[in-house]
C-alpha cells in the first residue's frame, strides 16, 4: 500500500456493513482500500475470546454508565466473528418506519449468506423441553434462520466464541473476495478522522505502528460500527453523531430443572415471533450465563478483568451446573437515548419504557421456563446485555437518504446508519443496506 496512491473508495471497518460494501465495490474494478482497527484473529474458545476479544486493550468490558454490557469485536470481521449465526429478516413495519425498501437486497443477502433454518436433528434436549413448555402455553417456537452450514456444524454452541469448524458465515468470506478482486487491506490501523477540503472528504488519518498516516480517497465509507463510526464522525467535525444510541438490550433468565439442561446446546436454535410486531420482543432459548457471572464478580462496573477476576469468573463458570440449567432471553427495541462520546465512553441507561419491556419479557420467559420444568425457586435474572450497537449516525438525521453525511463523498454504512433499532439480529439487514449503498455508489461514480 503506497501512501501516494489515491483510492476510489476507502472503506473503514470489516464487519457486515464494511465487508459487504468492500466486496461489492471491489467487483466494479475501482481501486478500493479496506482499513481495519484490529488484527486477523483466528482463535476460538470461551477463555481465549473472553480475554482477547470481549475486553479491550485496558482489559475492560464495554459497559455503559447505566450498567448495560455491550458486546462487540474489534478484529478482522468485526462482530460477525462472534455472532450467533442468526440471520433474521425484520418485519415490514420497520422498513415502513424507515421509509426504505430493501426487499431485493435482503433476498440477495440471504443468498450470499446461504440462509437456512436450524435443523431439527441438532436441536438439543434442553431446547426441546423449552419448545414443549412454550407449546403448553399456546406459544409456538419456530426454527431460527441461520447463516450456518449445518453439514459442518457440530452443535457445540461456540458460535459466540469463534466457530471452531468454520460452519458459521463471517465477513472474512467477503473480505477474502474483496482482496481477490484487487482491494488492499490495512490491518491494525485505527482511523482517527476524515480529511476534508472545501467541504469534501479527501482522505483519512489513521494510526498504525505508533505513528500517524494519511491516505487519500475520492469516496470514504465509514463502517466502524455503532460505536466506532460516531467517534470518527465527531473527530471529523460532525458533532451530531453519537447523540442517541440503541443496542437491542436483553436480560437473560435462567432456572434449574431436575433432569435436563442446555449445556453445550446451540443457543437460539428456535425463537418466538408472535411478540415481534406488537410488544417488540424477540424471545429465544439462551444459555450464556457468562456475563451474569461477571456481573456477580465485578458488580458490573467497567472494572478491569484482571487475572484474579478472570480466575474467579472461570471458577464460577465451572460451578454452573448447566447440565440442569435452562434459559431464555428476549431482545427489546430500546429507545434511542444517551450518547457515544469520542473518548469511547457510552452514556446509556434504560428508560421507563425500556424497563417495562424488559419486565414484560421477563414474565413471558419465566412462565415458559416454569412450564418447561424449571424450579421457580431457582429462577435467576441475568444482567443487561446487548450486542447490536446502532442508530448513532441515523439516516434522516446525520445521513441523507443515500447515506451521505454533510461532508460530500463521506458515507456511512453500518448499524450506526439505522434510523431506529430492529430489536432483533441485524446482520442480514446490514448486508442489505450496504448492497443498496454499493449500487448507488457504482451508479454515480
Binding region for ligand FAD (CB under 6 A): 12-18, 35-38, 71-72, 74, 78-80, 82-86, 160, 190-191, 223-226, 228, 232, 387-388, 414-415, 425-427, 430
Is the CB of 298 or the CB of 434 nearer to ligand FAD?
Answer: 434
Least Å distance between CB 254 and ligand FAD? 17
Dihedral sign computed on CA atoms, order 226, 229, 234, 238: negative
Query: What distance in Å separates the CA atoms of residue 124 and residue 43, rounded to the nearest whole number?
Result: 26
Least Å distance between CB 98 and ligand FAD? 16
Is the CB of 15 or the CB of 242 nearer to ligand FAD?
Answer: 15
367 CA to centre of own chain? 28
Is the CB of 329 or the CB of 374 nearer to ligand FAD?
Answer: 329
As a dihedral over the C-alpha atoms of residue 316, residue 322, residue 328, residue 334, rounded to 10 degrees, the angle is 20
Is the CB of 339 or the CB of 367 nearer to ligand FAD?
Answer: 339
Residue 394: how many other CB atoms lie within 10 Å: 22
Is the CB of 14 or the CB of 298 nearer to ligand FAD?
Answer: 14
- Spell 323-336 as b/e; 16+ CB within 10 A means b: ebbbbbbbbbbbbb
217 CA to centre of own chain? 28
Q: Report yes or no: 33 and 183 within 8 Å, Cβ to Cβ.
A: yes
Which positions ≥6 away from 138 have C-beta within 8 Å?
none
Least Å distance between CB 134 and ligand FAD? 20
Give 233-273 as a DSSP string.
HHHTT-TTTTEEEB---B--EEEE-SS---TTPPTTSEE--
Least Å distance between CB 111 and ligand FAD? 16
Least Å distance between CB 376 and ligand FAD? 29
Joined grid coordinates for residue 50: 473472553
- Three-state DSSP class for 125? helix
Least Å distance between CB 229 and ligand FAD? 7
Q: Report yes or no: 284 and 270 within 8 Å, Cβ to Cβ.
A: yes
Is the CB of 16 or the CB of 261 nearer to ligand FAD?
Answer: 16
Is the CB of 73 or the CB of 374 nearer to ligand FAD?
Answer: 73
Least Å distance between CB 352 and ligand FAD? 26
Is the CB of 18 or the CB of 285 nearer to ligand FAD?
Answer: 18
CA angle 327–330–332, rounded 5-degree value? 160
Q: Name the closest residue to ligand FAD (Cβ).
A: 15
Least Å distance between CB 199 and ligand FAD? 23
Q: Report yes or no: 201 and 194 within 8 Å, Cβ to Cβ.
A: yes
Q: Greatest CA span in the chain, whole angstroms?
A: 69
Is the CB of 191 or the CB of 399 nearer to ligand FAD?
Answer: 191
Is the CB of 14 or the CB of 403 nearer to ligand FAD?
Answer: 14
Query: What distance in Å separates the CA atoms of residue 245 and residue 348, rounded to the nearest whole number?
Result: 7
Nearest C-alpha neighbor of 66 from the set 296, 354, 339, 349: 349
Least Å distance between CB 328 and ligand FAD? 16
- Per DSSP, 331 falls in state E
Least Å distance between CB 248 and ligand FAD? 8
Amino acid at each position: 500500500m503506497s501512501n501516494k496512491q489515491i483510492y476510489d473508495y476507502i472503506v473503514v471497518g470489516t464487519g457486515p456493513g464494511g465487508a459487504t460494501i468492500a466486496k461489492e465495490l471491489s467487483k466494479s474494478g475501482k481501486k478500493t482500500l479496506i482499513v481495519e482497527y484490529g488484527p486477523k484473529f483466528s482463535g476460538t474458545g470461551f477463555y481465549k475470546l473472553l480475554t482477547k476479544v470481549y475486553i479491550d486493550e485496558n482489559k475492560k468490558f464495554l459497559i455503559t454508565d447505566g450498567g448495560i454490557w455491550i458486546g462487540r469485536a474489534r478484529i478482522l470481521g468485526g462482530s460477525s466473528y462472534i455472532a450467533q449465526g442468526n440471520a433474521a429478516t425484520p418485519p415490514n413495519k420497520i422498513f415502513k418506519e424507515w421509509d426504505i425498501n430493501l426487499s431485493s437486497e435482503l433476498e440477495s443477502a440471504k443468498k450470499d449468506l446461504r440462509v437456512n433454518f436450524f435443523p431439527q436433528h441438532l436441536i438439543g434436549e434442553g431446547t426441546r423441553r423449552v419448545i414443549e413448555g412454550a407449546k403448553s402455553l399456546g406459544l409456538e417456537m419456530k426454527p431460527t434462520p441461520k447463516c450456518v452450514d449445518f453439514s459442518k456444524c457440530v452443535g457445540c454452541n461456540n458460535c459466540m466464541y469463534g466457530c471452531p469448524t468454520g460452519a458459521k458465515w463471517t465477513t472474512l468470506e467477503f473480505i477474502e473476495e474483496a482482496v481477490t478482486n484487487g482491494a488492499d487491506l490495512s490491518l491494525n490501523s485505527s482511523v482517527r478522522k476524515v480529511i476534508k477540503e472545501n467541504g469534501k472528504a479527501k482522505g483519512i488519518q489513521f494510526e498504525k505502528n505508533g505513528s500517524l498516516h494519511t491516505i487519500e480517497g475520492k469516496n470514504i465509507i465509514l463502517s466502524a460500527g455503532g460505536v466506532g463510526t460516531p467517534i470518527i464522525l465527531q473527530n471529523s467535525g460532525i458533532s451530531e453523531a453519537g447523540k442517541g444510541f440503541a443496542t437491542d438490550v436483553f436480560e437473560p433468565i435462567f432456572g434449574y430443572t431436575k433432569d435436563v439442561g442446555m449445556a453445550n446446546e446451540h443457543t437460539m436454535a428456535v425463537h418466538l415471533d408472535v411478540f415481534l410486531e406488537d410488544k417488540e420482543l424477540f424471545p429465544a432459548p439462551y444459555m450464556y450465563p457468562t456475563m451474569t457471572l461477571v456481573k456477580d464478580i465485578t458488580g458490573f462496573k467497567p472494572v478491569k478483568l484482571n487475572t484474579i477476576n478472570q480466575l474467579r469468573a472461570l471458577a464460577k463458570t465451572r460451578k454452573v451446573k448447566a447440565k440442569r440449567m435452562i434459559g431464555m432471553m428476549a431482545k427489546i427495541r430500546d429507545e434511542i437515548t444517551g450518547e457515544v462520546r469520542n473518548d469511547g465512553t457510552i452514556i446509556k441507561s434504560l428508560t421507563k419504557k425500556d424497563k417495562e419491556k424488559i419486565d414484560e419479557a421477563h414474565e413471558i420467559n419465566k412462565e415458559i421456563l416454569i412450564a418447561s420444568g424449571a424450579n421457580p425457586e431457582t429462577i435467576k435474572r441475568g444482567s443487561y446485555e446487548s450486542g447490536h450497537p446502532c442508530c448513532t449516525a441515523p439516516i434522516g438525521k446525520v445521513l441523507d437518504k443515500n447515506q451521505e453525511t454533510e461532508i460530500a463523498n463521506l458515507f456511512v454504512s453500518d448499524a450506526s446508519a439505522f434510523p431506529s433499532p430492529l430489536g432483533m439480529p441485524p446482520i442480514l439487514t446490514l448486508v442489505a443496506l450496504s448492497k443498496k449503498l454499493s449500487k448507488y455508489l457504482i451508479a454515480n461514480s
